[in-house]
Amino acid sequence: MLSGVVLVAGLTACGSDKGDSDKSNKGSDKAAESVGGPLAALKLASQQTDQQHSAKVEGTTKMGTQNSTMSGAMDWADGMRANMTITQTGGSVQNSPLAGKPMEARYTPDAMFMNLGPEFAAQAGGKHWMKYDYDTLAKQAGASGEFLKDQMQNTDPARSVQLLIATGQVKSVGSESVKGVKATHYTGTVKVSELAKMQSKDLTQSDLEALQKQLETSGMETETIDLWIDGDNLLVKKREQAESNNGTYDSTVFYSDYGTKVTVEEPPTSDTMNFEDALGQQS
């Protein structure tokens, strides 16, 4: 699913120096609303969020009958690095030993690691972690794999704001409270094919065209994006909704503690199995 990367997206802003610059930002945000409207306000939010490099993140994702919750912290200063705890229920994991159990996940610029628990280790020579190498996934999954690789290696939460700006049609819904923080709610709808092109940083034109065909086959035509921007012009909440042949996709992510320190260590090689090796054993 195109937006599944939301599971690992994170955002943060520095909570340091609350000086005159912050007051100026708040004033400019109000001015943008009155003079330039929602688009001008979102451009300020994009600029401010783009300057940040890490954050704490938590959220929920529903895709058809499968549900996921996640929490952790992410740093996107130099490729994506994150530590997350993910819990999945329903759908394809309903009858799995993993259903309803928190899984530890670690993300580096080159790969994703999932701790699949003792049941998996019992069948994998005592190894608890599965490694998903982005280059390998890209080769196996074709255009959608290349897109996932691009997203995982170039994740920047400011892109969500930029996407809504790119639609050229954004509405301000009003002021709301997000976990006790006053924020302005913006909403807009983008075509999924355009979403892929706007988010992709390093994909070739042929990759984009192939991906667009896959998305059209999935039945996804549009995606609604809702953003909540606080008084410091930072994204504090994002919700994405879409319909596909697999059912409803609905993801909500909260961002806080911008500037939080994130340290990610790869699991020991002796306790890790490569995804392609696991596939080879099954075939």
Q: What is the pLDDT of residue 207?
A: 73
Q: What is the pLDDT of residue 72?
A: 95
How many structural domains compose the chain? 1
* Terminal Cα-to-Cα distance of the chain (whole angstroms): 25
- Whole-model pTM over 0.85: no
In this structure, the number of other CB atoms found within 10 A of the CB of residue 95 comes to 6
The b-or-e profile of 236-262 (16+ CB within 10 A means b, else e) is: bbbbbbbebeeeebbbbbbbbbbebeb
The C-alpha atoms of residue 216 and residue 214 are separated, in whole angstroms, by 5
- Here the tokens at position 48 are 């401010």
Q: What is the pLDDT of residue 9?
A: 30
Q: What is the pLDDT of residue 97?
A: 85
Question: What CATH number should be reported for the domain holding residue 184?
Answer: 2.50.20.20
Q: What is the pLDDT of residue 26?
A: 43
CB of 130 closer than 8 Å to CB of 116? yes
Q: What is the pLDDT of residue 193?
A: 73
The C-alpha atoms of residue 153 and residue 164 are separated, in whole angstroms, by 21
3-state secondary structure of 231: coil
Question: Per-residue pLDDT for the chain (283 aa), expressed as one digit of tens each?
Answer: 333 333 333 222 222 233 333 333 444 344 334 436 898 999 999 888 878 989 999 999 998 899 999 999 999 888 889 999 999 999 888 888 889 999 999 999 999 999 999 999 999 999 999 999 988 888 877 766 776 777 676 666 777 788 788 777 899 999 999 999 999 999 999 887 776 666 666 667 777 777 777 777 778 788 899 999 999 999 999 998 988 888 898 999 999 999 999 999 999 999 999 988 887 766 5
Domain hosting residue 97, numbered range: 2-282
Q: Which residues contact 119 (CB under 8 A, 6 or more apart)?
A: 97, 98
CA 205 to chain centre: 23
Sequence-ordered alpha helix ranges (H) in the chain: 20-35, 37-50, 117-123, 134-141, 143-153, 158-167, 192-199, 205-218, 275-282
3-state secondary structure of 136: helix
